[in-house]
Structure 1
Amino acid sequence: MHVTEKLTRPLTEAKYLNADNADRYRSIMRIFYENYEKLRYWMYQEEVYAQMTADPYFADYRMEQCQQDLAMLTEWKNLNTIQDTRRVSSIEEFKNKKFRYQMSEYSVEIERLVIRLENLFVEGASLEPTLLERIRLNVERFPKMSGEDPNTVYAWWNDLNNDFIRLNQNYQDYIRDLNSVKAEEMMRTKEFLVFKDKLVEYLRNFIKGLQKNVGVIEETLRLLEPELLKHVLDKVNDYEMSIPRMDVEVSREMIEEKTTGRFESIRNWFVAGEGRENEAGRLFDATNEIIRRITRYAAQLSEKNALGANRREEYRKVAEIFLRCKDMDEAHRMSAMVFGLERPFHLSAEADRETDSMNQSVYDEPAAELTLRPRVRTYREKTGRTSIRDTAQEKAQARRQAVEQMKQDWKRIGELERGGRIDFSDLPVIEPRVRGILLKWLSDALEDGDYAARTGDGRNFALDMTQADERCVVRCEDGNFTMPKISIVFQDRYGEL
């Protein structure tokens, strides 16, 4: 925080919202604001009085009260005044000082805030996946903006910032509403079950938008070249400096600080740093936690409804069935059918199931076999005698195959070596097995304090970490991955088998 005179001075322009006779002051300011929206910036006292008395609430409002209220609002700097000399026809009229009134800049913004607060619960907040898509498209246009004129760059920059501000504010307001006490109370009511599925689907669609766009935005911002970024932001700053401003002195440093701060806010929202999770990740976790809480509350409500259900009709139906039994023996069989056996015997077997589906019936699975053994201490199972089999030939064959595979791996890795180095940023498309060997070498070297290790064939190597803060993309047959720009530097020749 930087303490300035604007920050420490009292904000007298907001007094009319909470002062005595606030109903009159706020009504007058609303009249000025509505006329301001219609491009009528100046008003006379008679015009204000006429619009005030047009409402029955101010039927007893007097002209003297209107003059006093306008004077007080002028003193609080809510209104600017200028003496109107165009209609003066005598010295007496000039002495009475007929004024025209205009809203100040602070008052316009205060009224906008008040109107937004009045409609806060009507407008509400939302999670819009389309904002993420628009931000992704605008971020991907960063390289293109370096060749555009400042007007186009400034319009693109405003669109990107407006979408980001809407996304940030909307998600915070929406998550706050879902975590409020009112939402907790609502989730415990039966009415919540009606739109539970719709709310969960809405949140899941937003999560899909996060998963689809955030990764692309993060990768684009991470790989953005500093020279390109500076060139684009300089165009934005140039356009800002070219805008003529009345009674305001703006320095180049202030504009550059504002522009850089906005870009850093966007970058920190999508890009994770060292030991710090980005805001998109926290939003993802918060949304998933809300879905889990909604599901848990819905399950509790369902269980409560099931426990409190009226079973009277069911009991009446069971009683009618028992009355239709011919004798006691049939009633016993009916009791076993309805309530279960009185003293049942159970046989259980611990068999591996073919599926974990809860919808799979036991009758659809193969029968399990259970071997019954005598429950006496002297029982011993018979064991069959087997001879020792010579597996030397299989072991030799397996060894030859392993050695041949190692030779092929060393040959492939040798083809990747250039001047005793393997540069990950300059690799061709590699096989998954070769990738596993290279990453194993990296892991062994990173565990050493000197970043040095030895390969399986006896070669000593060390890691070149001078460009580790940069990123490179390694292309593989089964996909690509991003890693630090590291090189493996060998220190001797290949060993011999």
Structure 2
Amino acid sequence: MRVTEKLTRPLTEAKYLNADNADRYRSIMRIFYENYEKLRYWMYQEDVYEEMTADPYFADYRMEQCQQDLAMLTEWKNLNTLQDTRRVSSIEEFKNKKFRYQMSEYSVEIERLVIRLENLFVEGASLEPTLLERIRLNVERFEKMAKEDGNTVYTWWNDLNNDFIRLNQNYQDYIRDLNSVKAEEMMRTREFLVFKDKLVEYLRNFIKGLQKNVGVIEEILKMLDSDILETVLGKVNDYEMSIPRMDVEVSRELIEEKTRGRFESIRNWFVSADGRENEAGRLFDATNEIIRRITRYGAQISERNALGANRREEYRKVAEIFLRCKDLNEAHKMSAMVFGLERPFHLKSEMERVTDSMDQSVYDEPAEELILRPRIRTYKEKSERTSIRDTRAEKAQARKQAVEQMKEDWKRIGELERDGRIDFANLPVIEPRVREILLKWLSDALEDADFGARTEDGRNFVLDMTHRDEQCVVRCEDGNFTMPKLSIVFGEDGGL
């Protein structure tokens, strides 16, 4: 925080909101604001009086009161005045000072805030996965922005910051509403059961958006080159300095501090550092906790409704149905439907479920086939008689292919070795098979206390852990992955 004169001075522009006769002051300021929105910046006292008396609430409003109210608002710096000398035809009229009134800059912003507060519960907050996607797309354009002109970079920077501010404010407001006393009371009511599934689905969709975009944004910001970042932020600062401002003198130091602070806010929201959990992780945990609480309350409501049900009427209805059965066989069927089967068969399967959702019915999942065999000692499955085949040729062919594959692997890995070492940070684009071999060697060495191991052809090697705190990107034909900056150093016992 930097203490300035603007910070320490009393904000007299806000007095009209809670002063005596606030209903008159606020109505006048709302008239000025609505005209300001219509680009009508200057108004006469007669114009204000006419609009005030048009409402029945101010039917007894007098011109003298209007003049006093305008004078008080001018004293509080809510209105700026300018004497109108265009219609003056005598010295007496000039002395009476016919003024035109205009809203001050502070008053415009105060009225905007008041209107937002008035519509706070109407607008409400929301969780929008599309904001995360838009932020991800804008963050991916960082390197491209280093080559664009200042106007394009500034527009992109404003879009990124506006989306981030909306995301941050909306999620805080929405989570606050779900954790409020009113929400807790609603979750305990029976009517909440109808709303529960829709709310849980809404939160799960947002979590999917988090999982899809946050990891990508974090990786991009971690790997962002510092020179590119400084170039982009420098273009934003240059454009800010080039904007003409009336009666306001802005230093480059303040603009650079503001721009850097906004970037750090975005980075801290998505990137974890120094063992500190980022804001996206906390939002993920908070959303999951809300889903668990909603599910728990729903189960409690269902149990409470089941315990409080009147069983007498249900039993009477069941007895009436039994009396209408035509014969004993139909009564047995009715009994099985009401009380269940007397000796049911329990079929158990080890099938893998398509989804773990508690809302998924067993009827919506694919059927599992079970082969039932007799449970007697004398039962044996029929076995087909087959002749012994000579598979020596197939084995020889398979062995030959395996040896050729191994030679090809050693050849490709040998091309990666430089001066008796393989540096993961300097690898070219490698094939999945080569990647599997290198990662297996890496895994074998990490299991050893001295970080050493032996390859399949008998070569000893150790891991160079000097730069293990740094990160590098290994590029493969089927994708890239990030790992510590390690190197495999071979011994003096022969080459690949």
With structure 1 as the length reference, what TM-score do the two structures score? 0.79
1:440 counterpart residue number = 443
Structure 1 residue 262, shift from structure 2 partner: 1.2
Instruction: Please give the alpha-carbon distance, in whole angstroms, between the structure 2 residues aligned to 1:333 and 1:17.
Output: 75
SS of 1:481's partner is strand
Instruction: Please give the alpha-carbon distance, in whole angstroms, between the structure 1 residues aligned to 2:63 and 2:338.
Output: 87
Aligned equivalent of 2:350, options 326, 342, 354: 354
Matched, 1:136 2:136: yes
Matches within 5 A, 1:464-479: 464-466=465-467, 468-475=469-476
1:254 counterpart residue number = 254
Instruction: Please give the alpha-carbon distance, in whole angstroms, between the structure 1 residues aligned to 2:26 and 2:278.
Output: 43
SS of 2:431's partner is coil
Structure 1 residue 99, shift from structure 2 partner: 1.8
C-alpha change, 1:323 and 1:129, in structure 2 (3 Å) is: closer
C-alpha change, 1:263 and 1:337, in structure 2 (3 Å) is: closer
Structure 1 residue 365, shift from structure 2 partner: 8.4
2:486 counterpart residue number = 486
Q: Percent of pairs identical after alignment?
A: 75
SS of 1:231's partner is helix
Instruction: Please give the alpha-carbon distance, in whole angstroms, between the structure 2 residues aligned to 1:278 and 1:334.
Output: 59
Structure 1 residue 61, shift from structure 2 partner: 1.4
Q: What letter corresponds to residue 439 of structure 1 in structure 2? A: L
Instruction: Please give the alpha-carbon distance, in whole angstroms, between the structure 1 residues aligned to 2:145 and 2:432.
Output: 35
Cα deviation code 1:349-400 (max 9, x no counterpart): 9x985358795999978589799xxxxxxxxxxxxxxxxxxxxxxxxxxxxx
SS of 1:247's partner is coil
Instruction: Please give the alpha-carbon distance, in whole angstroms, between the structure 2 residues aligned to 1:57 and 1:141.
Output: 55
C-alpha change, 1:365 and 1:193, in structure 2 (3 Å) is: farther
Shifted more, 274-283 versus 408-417: the winner is 408-417
Shifted more, 76-85 versus 236-245: the winner is 76-85
C-alpha change, 1:370 and 1:297, in structure 2 (3 Å) is: farther
1:302 counterpart residue number = 302
Structure 1 residue 34, shift from structure 2 partner: 0.8
C-alpha change, 1:16 and 1:485, in structure 2 (3 Å) is: same
C-alpha change, 1:169 and 1:301, in structure 2 (3 Å) is: same
Instruction: Please give the alpha-carbon distance, in whole angstroms, between the structure 2 residues aligned to 1:65 and 1:267.
Output: 54
1:119 counterpart residue number = 119
SS of 1:127's partner is coil
Matched, 1:220 2:216: no
Instruction: Please give the alpha-carbon distance, in whole angstroms, between the structure 2 residues aligned to 1:177 and 1:101.
Output: 41
Matched, 1:165 2:165: yes
2:76 counterpart residue number = 76
Structure 1 residue 321, shift from structure 2 partner: 6.7
Q: Is the 8 A contact 1:459 1:495 kept in 2?
A: no
Instruction: Please give the alpha-carbon distance, in whole angstroms, between the structure 2 residues aligned to 1:325 and 1:441.
Output: 74
2:15 counterpart residue number = 15
SS of 2:286's partner is helix
- Could you list the runs of 5+ residues in structure 2 that have no partner in the other structure? 354-360, 378-402
Shifted more, 88-97 versus 64-73: the winner is 88-97
Shifted more, 481-490 versus 35-44: the winner is 481-490
With structure 2 as the length reference, what TM-score do the two structures score? 0.80
Instruction: Please give the alpha-carbon distance, in whole angstroms, between the structure 2 residues aligned to 1:439 and 1:82.
Output: 80
Instruction: Please give the alpha-carbon distance, in whole angstroms, between the structure 1 residues aligned to 2:338 and 2:15.
Output: 76
Instruction: Please give the alpha-carbon distance, in whole angstroms, between the structure 2 residues aligned to 1:212 and 1:439.
Output: 29
Instruction: Please give the alpha-carbon distance, in whole angstroms, between the structure 1 residues aligned to 2:290 and 2:138.
Output: 30
Q: Is the 8 A contact 1:80 1:104 kept in 2?
A: yes
C-alpha change, 1:26 and 1:191, in structure 2 (3 Å) is: same
Shifted more, 113-122 versus 156-165: the winner is 156-165
C-alpha change, 1:359 and 1:27, in structure 2 (3 Å) is: closer
Structure 1 residue 476, shift from structure 2 partner: 7.4
1:429 counterpart residue number = 431
Shifted more, 4-13 versus 454-463: the winner is 454-463
Structure 1 residue 491, shift from structure 2 partner: 5.5
Instruction: Please give the alpha-carbon distance, in whole angstroms, between the structure 2 residues aligned to 1:340 and 1:201.
Output: 34
C-alpha change, 1:465 and 1:188, in structure 2 (3 Å) is: same
C-alpha change, 1:219 and 1:370, in structure 2 (3 Å) is: farther
SS of 1:482's partner is strand
Matches within 5 A, 1:226-245: 226-245=226-245
SS of 2:483's partner is strand
SS of 2:77's partner is coil
1:459 counterpart residue number = 460
C-alpha change, 1:438 and 1:106, in structure 2 (3 Å) is: farther
SS of 1:248's partner is coil
Q: Is the 8 A contact 2:153 2:235 kept in 1?
A: yes
Consecutive aligned runs of 4 or more in structure 1 exceeding 6 Å deviation: 321-326, 331-341, 346-349, 360-365, 367-371, 407-412
Cα deviation code 1:231-262 (max 9, x no counterpart): 12211111111110011111111111111111
C-alpha change, 1:72 and 1:436, in structure 2 (3 Å) is: same
Structure 1 residue 282, shift from structure 2 partner: 1.8
Structure 1 residue 418, shift from structure 2 partner: 1.6
SS of 1:489's partner is strand
Structure 1 residue 24, shift from structure 2 partner: 0.9
SS of 1:277's partner is coil
Instruction: Please give the alpha-carbon distance, in whole angstroms, between the structure 2 residues aligned to 1:337 and 1:247.
Output: 84
- Could you list the runs of 5+ residues in structure 1 that have no partner in the other structure? 372-403
Structure 1 residue 31, shift from structure 2 partner: 0.9
C-alpha change, 1:243 and 1:311, in structure 2 (3 Å) is: same
Q: What letter corresponds to residue 186 of structure 2 in structure 1? A: M
C-alpha change, 1:281 and 1:64, in structure 2 (3 Å) is: same
SS of 1:292's partner is helix
Q: What letter corresponds to residue 473 of structure 1 in structure 2? A: V
Instruction: Please give the alpha-carbon distance, in whole angstroms, between the structure 2 residues aligned to 1:453 and 1:411.
Output: 22
* Total equivalences in the alignment: 454
Structure 1 residue 485, shift from structure 2 partner: 2.5
Question: What is the aligned-residue RMSD (CA, Å)?
Answer: 3.8
Q: Is the 8 A contact 1:459 1:494 kept in 2?
A: no
